[in-house]
Amino acid sequence: MNNFISMSKKISACGLLVALAMIFSYIETLIPINMGLPGMKLGIANLVIVTALYLLGPREALLISLVRIFLVGFLFGSGMSILYSLAGGLVSFLAMMFLKRTEKFSIVGASLLGGAMHNVGQLLVAAAVVENAKIFYYLPPLLCVGCVTGILVGLLALRILPMGQKIIQNAGTL
């Protein structure tokens, strides 16, 4: 199906999704769910990444994810926050790509593992920054939170995916 989309269509689709992911990242900063757990958030930007992974492919999804992280980091964050998002984003992306490859899981499974692994990646950086393994005491709650938000995002993606496929099909035959 990807063959139907020309290069320019693909680029514009990526640009669109980067913009969307950035908006989601911004919206997320407006929703305060501060429970004293570092790295805890809704992860709605992952909705874009996981959808792109299934809709366009791993290369495009990784590109969107990286561009989003750097743009959001430079706009609203700092050097450290880019490092944290980068670790979370990459670990989560690898996990999702792996699950998609196995073809034994749906987009919901990919999204929930992605959510959980995002937090694992961030904790790894945090543990490296302070060189203290006690930070991993935060792992169980963060795993659960990542899993729950990942399921919610995955269920949304499950509904969005057919619509996106329809759009791509129409664009291909236009």
Partner 1 sequence: MKKNDIILAAAIFLFAGLLSAIIFFSGNERGSFVTVTIDKKVYGTYSLGENQDITIDTEFGHNVLHIENGSVSMTEADCPDGYCKRQGKISTEKETIVCLPHKLVVEIRGTNTDDGQTEEQTDGQTDEDYDILVK
Binding site for partner 1 (CB under 8 A): 34-38, 80, 104-106, 108-109, 112-113, 116, 126, 129-132, 134-135, 137, 139-141, 143-144, 147, 151, 154-155, 158
Residue closer to partner 1 (CB basis): 18 or 96: 96
Would you say 119 and 88 are in contact if contact means Cβ atoms under 8 Å apart?
Answer: yes
Q: Which alpha helices (H) appear in the chain, and where do they start and end?
A: 7-30, 45-55, 58-76, 79-102, 107-130, 139-173
Residue closer to partner 1 (CB basis): 13 or 47: 47
Q: What 8-state DSSP symbol labels residue 136?
A: G
**Least distance in angstroms from the C-beta of 61 to partner 1:** 19
Q: Cβ neighbours of residue 133 under 8 Å, at least 6 residues apart?
A: 127
Give the Cα separation of 106 and 40 in Å (integer).
24
Residue closer to partner 1 (CB basis): 11 or 163: 163
Residue closer to partner 1 (CB basis): 7 or 36: 36
Give the Cα separation of 54 and 37 in Å (integer).
31
**CB atoms < 10 A from the CB of 126, how many?**
18
Residue closer to partner 1 (CB basis): 43 or 154: 154
Give the Cα separation of 24 and 26 in Å (integer).
5
**Least distance in angstroms from the C-beta of 171 to partner 1:** 27
Identify the three-state secondary structure at position 36: coil
